[in-house]
Amino acid sequence: MPDIPSTTNDMDQLDDGGRQLRDAMVRRLIESDAVRDPRVIAAFRAVPRHLATPDVEVAKTYNAEFAAVTKTDATGVDISSVSAPRVQAMQIEQAGIEPGMTVLEIGSGGPNAAYLAEMVGDAGRVVTMDIDSEVTDRATAFLAATGYRNVRVLTADAEDGAAGDGPFDRIVVTVQAADIPPAWVRQLKDGGRLVVPLRMRGMTRTVAFVRDGHRLVSDGFELCGFVPMQGAGQNRVQLAVLHDEEGEQIALRLDGHPEPDTKALAAALFTPRATAWSGVTLGGTESNEHLDLWLTTALDNLPLMAAKPGARKRGLVTSASPLGVPTLVDDGSFAYRTVRATEAEDRYELGAIGHGPHAQQLAERLASEIRTWDREHRGDRARIEVHPAATPDEQLPVGRRIERRHTRVTITWP
């Protein structure tokens, strides 16, 4: 169990600097438009989150973009963390939590449960659960030390939810999920909201769903990154490694995509580039999250390419996003989304770079879909629905379908 102050006086003494850091953190969250609800703002001012990670520098824990990794598995994959304040605030705003509600948090840690407890107030109740006893022990210690009594901590696999504590007005999931277990839908009140970082064809968005009978219908989503689900719901992406030199690794993240000809693609990586520019531009602060979701809706074989910064420095690729870059694959050729600066200040043109025998064709195809998005869907938000796995085709919306063990997920556009 972590070394957390056990008396109010000790906590107050350690929290003197924390109050100032919390105020500064909240100002940054407001300035970046990450938080707008006055009640969420008040919650983030109230919780001394640094006490949950005593091994981390206090100031760092109040960096709006800093996620404190608390555990990795034997392969080095992060499996537990205290999410960044910006992401936690974003999810809590998506949830629309009101005083007196009963809320289930899936994926524990401590500070986020405390924020939820602030939101529901004394008349409400929070249940936070995690499969890992080390994580729940840490959460229990933090919540006890900080005085949050309306939070129940459970150590269990969340695949079956927490039936004895439901039904829930809200469910907030703080780990990446590839599927929605039936128990989560059953234990959510009709009209209730489920906020979940849902992975769809490799792309993760924290989606705010509203329960409508047996289905879930999206009411907004945001770009995000989370540690993967463990237990019965574990469903990790597969990696197809194209290049594996130290600091220069390049791999495709497969999530239901066809198994690629890795050897041919690895060879294609070292062939001359083919480039196609779309004429479509983005502002420097404008997100490409809706574009990328359109691309994965429109194109069949579009895994994400993850590359280390060393690969970009060497010139093997032009993009090295930690979340991965949409990459169109066809046999031994591929093309990935890229950008270049324009003459206009802080504006960038979208395009594609291809490698392999069909490099130019694939780059042009990707650029064409970027233009389609700009012409027909820019400013639109996709609608994401989750239906039970047994739902017949004729009862599903027309659009991209993602088949999972428990559900059929659809992505449609206006």
CA distance 187 to 168: 6
Number of other CB atoms surrounding residue 384 within 10 Å:
26
The active-site residue out of 83, 108, 218, 333 is: 83
* CA–CA gap between residue 171 and residue 14 (Å, rounded): 32
- Contacts of 110 by beta carbon, 8 Å cutoff, 6+ apart: 52, 82, 138, 139, 141, 142, 143
How far is Cα 2 from Cα 51, in angstroms, rounded to an integer?
Answer: 9
For residues 251 and 243, give the distance between their C-alpha atoms in angstroms, rounded to a whole number.
7
Q: Is 319 a catalytic residue?
A: no
Token pair, residue 294, equals 């359109």
Pairing of strands 250-254, 168-173: unpaired
194: Cβ contacts below 8 Å, ≥ 6 apart: 170, 171, 173, 180, 184, 185, 188, 208, 209, 211, 216
The string of DSSP codes covering 336-372 is EEEEEE-SSTTEEEEEEEEESTTHHHHHHHHHHHHHH
Give me the amino acid identity at 124.
G
* Residues classed as catalytic: 83
